C-alpha cells in the first residue's frame, strides 16, 4: 500500500484550591522558580512544537495520570499531557480557564500551541489556556503503529490491505484501543478540570474537536461556561461519510467564482472539477511514474502518481485558502502532462499528514462512533471523490478493536450555554450548513461565515478579537461581526509566481 493511500484513509476529513472566588485556578511557584503548580497538576517549562509548526513556543507542560479503563480505576494508568499557555504573570487570571480541543480525530492539541496562541491572543490577556493531548495522540499514550509496519505495506493497495494493516497494528499495541473514544476522552477532560481546580471551563473546539466540545457540554452542562466551535461537526453527522458531497460543494463554489472573474476564466477555461475528472480518468487507466524534486529538501525523487493521490491531495489542500490557490495551476500543469509540481505537492502533503495525525486514535473514534452509521449514497459515485473515499476511511474498522457510544451520543446539543459557531464559506469537510444546523437547538448562539475561507478560521481576520470578546462576555448574540466583511477570498494562482492583481 502506498504511503499516501494509508494516510488518505486516515484523514479524509485539543477542584483542589478552587473556592468559588473571583480568581481562577491558582498557579503556585514551586521550590524551583521556573516550575508552577495549578491545582494538583505540576507544570515545568517546555518547548511546544510539531512537524507542522513554523515556530517553537515556550510553554509549560505537565501530566495527569488517569485510568486507561474508567471502569477499572485501580487498573492500568495512562498519562495525559497538558500544555499551559498563561497570561502575563502580573495578570489576575479569570476563574474559568479555556480548554483547546484539537481536530482530526488524531491531532494532538499541544502541537498546535503556536497557532492557538495567535488565534486566542485576546483570550490570553485574561485567561489561562490549557491544551490537553486527547488520549491516543501526542504524548498521551499515543496509539502508534510499529514504525516498520507501514514499509511492509508500501507496495500494497486497496481496502483489504488497510484492514490487514490496522489489524496488525492493533495487535502490537500495549494499550486497549476500545478505551480511546470521544466519550472516554470527555471524562478525561473533566478529570483535568477538577485537577486544575476550576469550577467551570470555556471550550474552544476545532473540526473534530467541535464534537468533543459538544459532547462535554452535553455531559457536563454545569461546568461549561461558554463554547467556541470552529469548523462544526454535528453530533449526528457520520464523520467521513459525507466528504464526497461536501468536497463537491466546494469545487462547485470555486468554479462559480472563477467564472465571474475575467482573469481566472481566461487562464482556466476548464474548471478545476473538470480537470480533476480528466486526470482521474487518465491515471485510473495507467498511473504515471514521475520525477520531481522534494519541496522540503530539493532532492531529486521518483514516485508513482495515481488517481487516488490527485483527488486526495486536492481535498487536503482545499482546507486552507492559501494552499487551495495553488491547486488550479498545478492541476492544469498535470492535465498538460507536466506532473512534477503536482507530485511535489503530493509529497509535501503526505509528509505533513504523517506528522500530524495519529491513525490508531482516529480509528478508535470513527469505528466506535461513525462506521456502523455509514450508508453509501449512490449519488456520490458522480463526485470527484467518488464512493471509494468513505469506504477507505472506514476500511480499518473491519479489524480495529473499538468501544461503544452512549445511546444519546448523536443527539444535538441543547440548552442555554452560550455558543459561537464559525465556518469558512469554502470549507470542504464541515460546510456552513453544519453550523447552522447545530445553532438551531442553541438559543444563545451565533453562527458566522467567513467569505472565501476554508476549514478552520479562528485565526483569520478579526476572529481573534471576536473570540476574545465572546469569551469575556459569554454573549454571542451581542457580538458585532461587521469586521468580518473585510475578510476577502484568496484568488487562484494564474502562474507559479502567484495571481494577477
402 domain-assigned: no
Out of 174-188, 218-232, 312-326, 364-378, least confident range: 312-326
Q: CA 301 → CA 4, 283, 286, 343, 346, distances in Å?
A: 15, 19, 20, 10, 12
- Domain of 201, CATH number, reads 3.40.50.1820
Does residue 46 carry a pLDDT above 70? yes
- Are 239 and 13 a contacting pair, CB within 8 Å? yes
**Scanning the structure block, which residue is given the C-alpha cell 476500545?**
178
Confidence (pLDDT) at 53:
58
Three-class secondary structure of residue 486 per DSSP:
helix
Does residue 354 carry a pLDDT above 90? no
Nearest Cα to Cα of residue 334 among 384, 293, 282: 282
- Are 153 and 146 a contacting pair, CB within 8 Å? no
- Are 331 and 278 a contacting pair, CB within 8 Å? no
Average pLDDT of span 243-256? 92
**Scanning the structure block, which residue is given the C-alpha cell 488517481?**
307
pLDDT tens for 473-500 read: 999 999 999 999 999 888 888 888 877 7
Residue 414 and residue 80: Cα distance in Å, rounded?
29
Distance between first and last Cα of the chain = 43
Most confident of 36-45, 340-349, 352-361: 36-45
Residue 9 CB neighbours (<10 A) = 29
Pairing of strands 419-424, 300-305: unpaired
Instruction: Give the dihedral of Cα atoms 187, 193, 195, 196; nearest 10 deg.
Output: 160
458 domain-assigned: yes
Pairing of strands 36-38, 41-48: antiparallel
Confidence (pLDDT) at 22:
38
- Are 98 and 123 a contacting pair, CB within 8 Å? yes
Residue 475 CB neighbours (<10 A) = 14
Q: CA 93 → CA 22, 43, 372, distances in Å?
A: 9, 17, 44
Does residue 2 carry a pLDDT above 80? no
Query: Helix axis angle, 340-354 relative to 3-11, nearest 10°?
Result: 60
| pLDDT band with cut points at 50, 70 and 90 for residue 25 | low
Out of 42-56, 90-104, 283-297, 359-373, least confident range: 42-56
| pLDDT band with cut points at 50, 70 and 90 for residue 23 | very low
Of residues 140 and 388, the one with the higher pLDDT is 140
Residues pairing with 61 in the sheet: 44, 83
212 domain-assigned: yes
- What percent of the chain is predicted at pLDDT more than 90? 65
Burial classification of residue 285, based on how many CB atoms lie within 10 Å of its CB (0-12 exposed, 13-18 middle, 19 or more buried): exposed
Name the average pLDDT for the chain: 89
Average pLDDT of span 57-78? 96
Confidence (pLDDT) at 453:
94
102 domain-assigned: yes
Pairing of strands 98-101, 201-206: parallel
Nearest Cα to Cα of residue 112 among 136, 134, 143, 135: 134
Residue 32 and residue 60: Cα distance in Å, rounded?
14
345 domain-assigned: no
- Structural domain boundaries enclosing 50: 15-139+178-239+409-481
Residue 291 CB neighbours (<10 A) = 11
- Quote the cell numbers at residue 43: 507544570
CA-atom Rg of the chain in angstroms? 22
Q: CA 37 → CA 79, 134, 194, 196, distances in Å?
A: 17, 21, 14, 9
Out of 75-84, 119-128, 277-286, 434-443, least confident range: 277-286
Residue 365 and residue 288: Cα distance in Å, rounded?
35
Residue 96 and residue 202: Cα distance in Å, rounded?
6
Q: Is the pTM of this model over 0.85?
A: yes
464 domain-assigned: yes
CB pairs under 8 A, 24+ apart, for 326-330? 326/493, 327/272, 327/492, 328/258, 328/267, 328/268, 328/272, 328/492, 328/493, 329/492, 329/493, 329/494, 329/495, 329/496
347 domain-assigned: no
Confidence (pLDDT) at 20:
35
Confidence (pLDDT) at 150:
79
Does residue 16 carry a pLDDT above 90? no
Average pLDDT of span 117-136? 97
pLDDT tens for 169-212 read: 999 999 999 999 999 999 999 999 999 999 999 999 999 999 99
Confidence (pLDDT) at 241:
94
Average pLDDT of span 222-237? 98
88 domain-assigned: yes
| pLDDT band with cut points at 50, 70 and 90 for residue 282 | very high
Residue 222 CB neighbours (<10 A) = 7
H/E/C letters for each residue in 94-159? CCCCEEEECCCCCCCHHHHHHHHHHHCCCHHHCCCEEEECCCCCCCCCCCCCCHHHHHHCCCCCCH
**Domains identified in the chain, total number:** 1
Amino acid at each position: 500500500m502506498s504511503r499516501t493511500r494509508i494516510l488518505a484513509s486516515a484523514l479524509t476529513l485539543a477542584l483542589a484550591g478552587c473556592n468559588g472566588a473571583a480568581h481562577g485556578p491558582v498557579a503556585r511557584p514551586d521550590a524551583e522558580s521556573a516550575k508552577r503548580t495549578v491545582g494538583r497538576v505540576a507544570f515545568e517549562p517546555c518547548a511546544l512544537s510539531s512537524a507542522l509548526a513554523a515556530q517553537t513556543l515556550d510553554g509549560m507542560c505537565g501530566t495527569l495520570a488517569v485510568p486507561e479503563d474508567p471502569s477499572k480505576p485501580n487498573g492500568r494508568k495512562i498519562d495525559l499531557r497538558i500544555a499551559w499557555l498563561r497570561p502575563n504573570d502580573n495578570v489576575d487570571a479569570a476563574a474559568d480557564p479555556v480548554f483547546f480541543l484539537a481536530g482530526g480525530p488524531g491531532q494532538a492539541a499541544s502541537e498546535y500551541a503556536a497557532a492557538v496562541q495567535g488565534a486566542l491572543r485576546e483570550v490570553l490577556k485574561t485567561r489561562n489556556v490549557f491544551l490537553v493531548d486527547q488520549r491516543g495522540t501526542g504524548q498521551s499514550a499515543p496509539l502508534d503503529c510499529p514504525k516498520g509496519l507501514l514499509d511492509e505495506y508500501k507496495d500494497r493497495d486497496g481496502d483489504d490491505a488497510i484492514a490487514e494493516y490496522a489489524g496488525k497494528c492493533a495487535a502490537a499495541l500495549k494499550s486497549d484501543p476500545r478505551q480511546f473514544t470521544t466519550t472516554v476522552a470527555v471524562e478525561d477532560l473533566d478529570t483535568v478540570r477538577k485537577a486544575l481546580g476550576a469550577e467551570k471551563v470555556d471550550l474552544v473546539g476545532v473540526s473534530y474537536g467541535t464534537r468533543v466540545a459538544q459532547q462535554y457540554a452535553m455531559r457536563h452542562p454545569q461546568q461549561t461556561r461558554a463554547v467556541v466551535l470552529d469548523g462544526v461537526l454535528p453530533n449526528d453527522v457520520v464523520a467521513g461519510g459525507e466528504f464526497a458531497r461536501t468536497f463537491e460543494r466546494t469545487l462547485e463554489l470555486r468554479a462559480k467564482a472563477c467564472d465571474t472573474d475575467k482573469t481566472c476564466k481566461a487562464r482556466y477555461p476548464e474548471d478545476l472539477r473538470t480537470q480533476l475528472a480528466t486526470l482521474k480518468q487518465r491515471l485510473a487507466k495507467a498511473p504515471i511514474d514521475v520525477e520531481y524534486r522534494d519541496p522540503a529538501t530539493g532532492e531529486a525523487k521518483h514516485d508513482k502518481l495515481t488517481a487516488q493521490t490527485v483527488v486526495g491531495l486536492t481535498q487536503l489542500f482545499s482546507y486552507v485558502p492559501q494552499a487551495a490557490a495553488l491547486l488550479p495551476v498545478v492541476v492544469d500543469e498535470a492535465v498538460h502532462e507536466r506532473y512534477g509540481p503536482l507530485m511535489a505537492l503530493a509529497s509535501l502533503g503526505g509528509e505533513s499528514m504523517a506528522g500530524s495525525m495519529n491513525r490508531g486514535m482516529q480509528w478508535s473514534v470513527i469505528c466506535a462512533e461513525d462506521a456502523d452509521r455509514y450508508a453509501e449514497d449512490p449519488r456520490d459515485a458522480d463526485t470527484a471523490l467518488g464512493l471509494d473515499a468513505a469506504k477507505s476511511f472506514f476500511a480499518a474498522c473491519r479489524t480495529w478493536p473499538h468501544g461503544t457510544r452512549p445511546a444519546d451520543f448523536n443527539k444535538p446539543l441543547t440548552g442555554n450555554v452560550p455558543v459561537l459557531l464559525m465556518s469558512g464559506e469554502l470549507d470542504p469537510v464541515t460546510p456552513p450548513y453544519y453550523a447552522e444546523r447545530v445553532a438551531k437547538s442553541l438559543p444563545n448562539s451565533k453562527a458566522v461565515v467567513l467569505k472565501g475561507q476554508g476549514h478552520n478560521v479562528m485565526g483569520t481576520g478579526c476572529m481573534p478579537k471576536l473570540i476574545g470578546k465572546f469569551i469575556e462576555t459569554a454573549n454571542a448574540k451581542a457580538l458585532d461581526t461587521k469586521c468580518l466583511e473585510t475578510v476577502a477570498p484568496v484568488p487562484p494562482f494564474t502562474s507559479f509566481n502567484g495571481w494577477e492583481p
